[in-house]
Amino acid sequence: MKWEQEPSAREGAKMLLAACLLLAAAVLCARWTASAAGPEPAQAAPVAAEPASQVVVTYFHTTFRCPTCLQIEKHTRDTVEKDFAQDLASKRVLFRTIDVQEAENRHFIQDYSLYSKSVVLSLVKNGKEIRWKNLPDIWKYAYSWDKFEQYIRSEIETFLKELGS
Which residues have a Cβ under 8 Å from the Cβ of 23 and sit 6 or more positions away? none
pTM beyond cutoff 0.95: no
What pLDDT score was predicted for residue 161? 95
Q: Which of 20, 86, 87, 26 is nearest to 53 (CA)?
A: 87
Residue 2's identity, in one-letter code, is K
CATH of region 47-163, choose from 3.20.20.70, 1.10.1370.40, 3.40.30.10, 3.30.200.20: 3.40.30.10
Q: Please give the mean pLDDT across all residues of the chain.
A: 79
More confident residue, 80 or 23: 80
What pLDDT score was predicted for residue 52? 82
Tell me the domain boundaries of the chain.
2-36, 47-163
* CA gap 58, 109 in Å, rounded: 13
pLDDT-based confidence at residue 136 (cuts at 50, 70, 90): very high
